[in-house]
């Protein structure tokens, strides 16, 4: 399985929930080159999930555009697949059926589905559970199924919305490493939304900070570290401290602006 | 001697340990007790001069009636006629109840507008529609099928709606995200998610329909189990009457068991199966 990444270009993206709601975020510009793992960090409520849902084609923007290799995103597609905070698996299906469900929606032939599902299940190391009912799996295993269900579509862009925040620390850490390793091996892009600075440092090539109301990108930092990344590595620690500092500054810097918005 | 008894006791208790076998053994025992009571009542009717003419209600005469009824093809014909009405009525109830139930569970304004009206209609006894049905439908068959349909549509409809209310909205988001068409959303997500509730509703509907069917067949028609009972009463063939009552019970039990199998087959919620 080899997947090509894509050039992402977000321009002037503005969103509001209904015409009477306040603006969620205003004129967001963001670019990400082919194969990059980009993290968007921000406090909860700043509009990260909304932004990601728009990129996934599950929500419509009020203004602005998102283009992948120059083609605007108009709705959901197997080329850009989202993984949510909870696995949301179909409980009446086995692991294998859950992983293959997207391919059956696309009416792929059975042998293609079988081989791609087997491959995806191997990537997330769930071979021994292929025939299990997903309700018998642990939270971490279920999220691995959700990952395989996304990977089997061979997306150019994988969208992750705080995908591991419900998991215990050990499971979270191993999945963070695994997802990054798989993305680098296969070559697809990642946009990761998180409020966890560690997660951004472990998983991303670049991190941007989203803050304010309405939200916008206020800081940007390259995460230029070798793989595999280790939390105890001093370079990881340094970058983490730097990002934390930027994050605090971004939060403080927002306060006067928020006040000025009121008058 | 004592050893042999102990050995036998061991076999029996091991036999009884198996849960399915134990349930079966209890079921047989329950039916046996019922049969014994019936048998005793028959003897009592027989022994009493004032009730002697009703002795044919007893267990033995009833069992003797089966070969006669089968030989004449009466049970088969009556069951086929009743089965057709029941099947058609249930089919209509499912075809109307499931889509409307899905609409009620999925579309909020529809649920709000329709709920009171449907709850009201549900509370009208199915048999209260009988005079109306007779006026509206040209044939007796038509009015009986209508009565069964109107009795069974409500459990199907409300179970379907309740099942949909339990559907996790995230499943729709996930399915859409993976490229499901609206039709696939229905057949691959909604249907399997609510199959358990739909079949549970059909089970309730079957119970009501089976109850409505027999009195509905007392009127007008000249076929079916209800008619056969009425006919047996008029011709004073009491053992035929009890044999037909027994047949109704057995068919109802078998149909119910089939639906229970379907319910278990489609139940995915833990703790339900
Ligand atoms: N469906 C919705 N309708 C109206 N407002 C919403 C909806 N979803 C989220 N919001 C609001 O939009 C803002 C951004 O939410 P969200 O994108 O979920 O933020 P984040 O993911 O960063 O926590 C929040 O203020 C939230 O209350
Ligand atoms: Mg969020």
Enumerate the residues of chain B whose CB falls inside 8 A of the CB of residue A82: 177
Q: Are B1 and B13 contained in the same domain? A: yes
Radius of gyration of chain A measured on its C-alpha atoms: 19
Backbone phi and psi for residue A58, each to the nearest 5 degrees, phi listed first: -90, -15
| B273 in any annotated domain | no
Q: Mean pLDDT throughout A158-177?
A: 90
Specify the ligand 1 atom closest to the Cα of A161.
Answer: 21
Q: For residue A20, give the ligand nearest its CA.
A: 1
**CATH number where B207 lies:** 1.10.3720.10
Nearest to B92 by CA among B144, B33, B47: B144
Nearest to A37 by CA among A233, A165, A205: A205
Q: Are B45 and B117 contained in the same domain? A: no
Q: Please say whether the dihedral angle defined by the alpha carbons of residues A114, B195, B184 and A65, taken in this order, is positive or negative.
A: negative
Q: What is the pTM of this model?
A: 0.80
State in Å: Cα A49 to ligand 2 middle.
Answer: 4
CB B217 within 8 A of CB B227: yes
Q: Are B65 and B53 contained in the same domain? A: no
DSSP-based helix, strand, coil % in chain A, nearest 5: 40, 25, 35
Q: Mean pLDDT throughout A64-78?
A: 91
CB B212 within 8 A of CB B147: yes
C-alpha to C-alpha distance for B17 and B174, rounded to whole angstroms: 45
Interchain proximity A86–B170, CB inside 8 Å: yes
3-state secondary structure (DSSP) of residue B206 = helix
C-alpha to C-alpha distance for A134 and B45, rounded to whole angstroms: 61
A91 at interface of B, judged by CB pairs closer than 8 A? yes
Q: How many domains does chain B have?
A: 2
> Is the pLDDT reported for residue A259 higher than 50?
no
Q: Are B200 and B246 contained in the same domain? A: yes
Nearest to A150 by CA among A190, A110, A200: A190
DSSP-based helix, strand, coil % in chain B, nearest 5: 85, 0, 15
| Residue B2 lies in domain | 1-57
pLDDT at A256: 46
Nearest to A250 by CA among A219, A220, A221: A219
Give me the tens of pLDDT residue by residue for chain B, a chain 273 residues long. 445 555 555 666 666 678 888 888 888 999 999 999 988 988 888 888 888 888 888 888 888 888 988 888 889 999 999 999 999 999 999 999 999 999 999 888 998 999 899 989 988 888 888 888 888 998 889 999 999 999 999 999 999 999 998 899 999 999 999 999 999 999 999 999 999 999 999 999 999 999 999 888 987 888 999 999 998 888 888 888 899 999 999 999 999 999 999 999 888 887 644
C-alpha to C-alpha distance for B167 and A259, rounded to whole angstroms: 42
Nearest to B94 by CA among B236, B211, B204, B202: B202
> Is the pLDDT reported for residue A137 higher than 90?
yes
- Parse chain A into domains and list their residue ranges: 8-79+155-251
Q: Mean pLDDT throughout A236-244?
A: 90
End-to-end CA distance of chain A: 55
Q: Are B171 and B73 contained in the same domain? A: yes
C-alpha to C-alpha distance for A149 and A175, rounded to whole angstroms: 15
Q: Give the number of C-alpha atoms closer than 13 A to the C-alpha of residue A70, restricted to the C-beta side.
A: 0
Decide if the complex's ipTM is over 0.95: no
Q: Of the candidates B57, B74, B96, which is a domain's last residue?
A: B57
- Tokens 């999220």 sit at which residue? A143
A190 at interface of B, judged by CB pairs closer than 8 A? no
Chain CA centroid to CA A186, Å: 16
Q: For residue A85, give the ligand nearest its CA.
A: 2
Interface of B with A in 159-198 (CB under 8 A): 168, 170-171, 173-181, 184, 188-189, 192-193
A59 at interface of B, judged by CB pairs closer than 8 A? no
For residue B192, give the nearest of A58, A92, A102 by CB distance: A92
Segments of B209-270 assigned E as strands: none
Q: Are B75 and B186 contained in the same domain? A: yes
Interchain proximity A90–B173, CB inside 8 Å: no
DSSP annotation string for A149-194: HHHTT--SEEEEESTTTTS-HHHHHHHHHHHHHHHHHHT-EEEEEE
Angle at A7 between CA A241 and CA A14, to 5 degrees: 75
pLDDT at B213: 92
State in Å: Cα A47 to ligand 1 middle.
Answer: 6
Residue of B nearest to A150 (CA): B178
| B271 in any annotated domain | no
C-alpha to C-alpha distance for B198 and B218, rounded to whole angstroms: 30
Q: Are B144 and B197 contained in the same domain? A: yes
Distances (CA, A) of B160 to A207, B47, B148, B183, B188: 47, 54, 18, 18, 16
Protein residue whose Cα sits closest to atom 1 of ligand 1: A17
List residues bridging with A121 in a β-sheet.
none
Q: Is A47 in the pocket of ligand 1 (CB under 6 A)?
A: yes
B41 at interface of A, judged by CB pairs closer than 8 A? no
User: Residues B178, B181, B186, B190: what is their CA dihedral angle, to the nearest 10 degrees?
Assistant: 20
Distances (CA, A) of A4 to A52, A118, A235, B89: 20, 20, 30, 57
Q: Are B226 and B101 contained in the same domain? A: yes
Q: And the tokens for B132?
A: 């109306």
Q: What is the pLDDT of residues A191-204, one digit of tens each?
A: 999 988 999 999 99
Q: Are B99 and B111 contained in the same domain? A: yes
In the sheet with A8-16, reading across from the earlier edge strand, the strands are A23-32, A8-16, A63-68, A71-72
| B272 in any annotated domain | no
* Statement: A8-79+155-251 belongs to CATH 3.40.50.300: yes
> Is the pLDDT reported for residue A64 higher than 50?
yes
Nearest to A171 by CA among A237, A136, A124, A133: A124
List residues bridging with A83 in a β-sheet.
A160
Q: Tell me which DSSP letter residue B124 carries.
A: S
Could you tell me which residues come within 8 angstroms of residue A175 by beta carbon, excluding any fewer than 6 positions away? A140, A143, A144, A147, A163, A164, A167
pLDDT at B159: 95
Q: Are B115 and B162 contained in the same domain? A: yes
Q: What is the mean pLDDT of chain A?
A: 89
Q: Are B153 and B68 contained in the same domain? A: yes
Q: Are B39 and B159 contained in the same domain? A: no
Specify the ligand 1 atom closest to the Cα of A44.
Answer: 23
């Amino acid at each position: 399985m080899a997947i090509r990444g894509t050039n992402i270009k977000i321009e002037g993206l503005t969103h509001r929930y209904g015409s009477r709601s306040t603006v969620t975020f205003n004129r967001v510009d963001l670019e990400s080159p082919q194969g990059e793992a980009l993290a968007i960090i921000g406090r909860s409520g700043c509009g990260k999930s909304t932004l990601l849902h728009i990129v996934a084609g599950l929500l419509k923007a009020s203004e602005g555009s998102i283009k992948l290799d120059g083609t605007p995103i108009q709705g959901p597609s197997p080329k850009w697949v989202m993984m949510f905070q909870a696995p949301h698996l179909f409980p009446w299906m086995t692991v294998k059926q859950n992983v293959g469900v997207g391919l059956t929606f696309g009416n792929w032939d059975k042998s293609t589905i079988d081989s791609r599902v087997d491959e995806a299940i191997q990537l997330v190391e769930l071979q021994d559970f292929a025939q299990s009912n997903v309700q018998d799996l642990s939270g971490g295993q279920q999220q691995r199924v959700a990952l395989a269900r996304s990977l089997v579509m061979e997306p150019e862009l994988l969208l992750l919305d705080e995908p591991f925040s419900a998991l215990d620390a050990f499971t979270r850490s191993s999945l963070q490493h695994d997802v990054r390793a798989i993305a680098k091996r296969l070559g697809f892009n990642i946009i990761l939304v998180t409020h966890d600075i560690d997660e951004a440092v472990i998983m991303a090539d670049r991190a941007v900070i989203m803050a304010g109301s309405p939200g916008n990108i206020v800081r940007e930092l390259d995460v230029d570290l070798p793989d595999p990344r280790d939390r105890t590595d001093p370079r990881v620690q340094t970058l983490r401290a730097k990002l934390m500092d930027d994050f605090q500054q971004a939060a403080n810097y927002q306060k006067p602006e928020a006040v000025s918005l009121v008058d | 001697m004592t050893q042999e008894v102990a050995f036998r006791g061991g076999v029996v208790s091991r036999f009884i340990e198996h849960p399915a076998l134990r349930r079966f053994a209890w079921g047989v025992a329950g039916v046996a007790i019922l049969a014994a009571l019936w048998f005793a009542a028959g003897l009592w009717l027989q022994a009493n001069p004032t009730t002697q003419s009703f002795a044919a209600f007893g267990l033995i005469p009833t069992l003797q009636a089966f070969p006669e009824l089968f030989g004449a093809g009466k049970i088969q014909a009556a069951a086929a006629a009743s089965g057709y009405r029941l099947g058609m009525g249930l089919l209509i109830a499912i075809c109307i109840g499931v889509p409307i139930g899905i609409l009620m569970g999925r579309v909020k304004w529809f649920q709000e507008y329709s709920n009171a009206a449907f709850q009201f209609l549900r509370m009208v006894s199915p048999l209260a529609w009988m005079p109306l049905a007779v006026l509206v439908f040209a044939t007796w068959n038509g009015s009986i099928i209508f009565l069964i349909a109107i009795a069974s549509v409500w459990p199907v409809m409300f179970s379907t709606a309740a099942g949909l209310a339990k559907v996790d909205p995230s499943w729709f988001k996930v399915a859409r995200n993976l490229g499901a068409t609206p039709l696939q959303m229905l057949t691959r997500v909604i249907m399997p998610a609510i199959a358990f509730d739909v079949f549970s509703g059909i089970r309730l509907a079957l119970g009501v329909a089976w109850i409505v069917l027999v009195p509905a067949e007392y009127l007008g028609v000249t076929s079916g189990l209800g008619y056969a009972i009425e006919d047996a009463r008029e011709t004073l063939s009491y053992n035929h009457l009890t044999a037909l009552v027994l047949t109704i019970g057995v068919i109802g039990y078998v149909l119910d068991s089939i639906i229970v199998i379907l319910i278990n087959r489609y139940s995915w919620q833990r703790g339900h199966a």
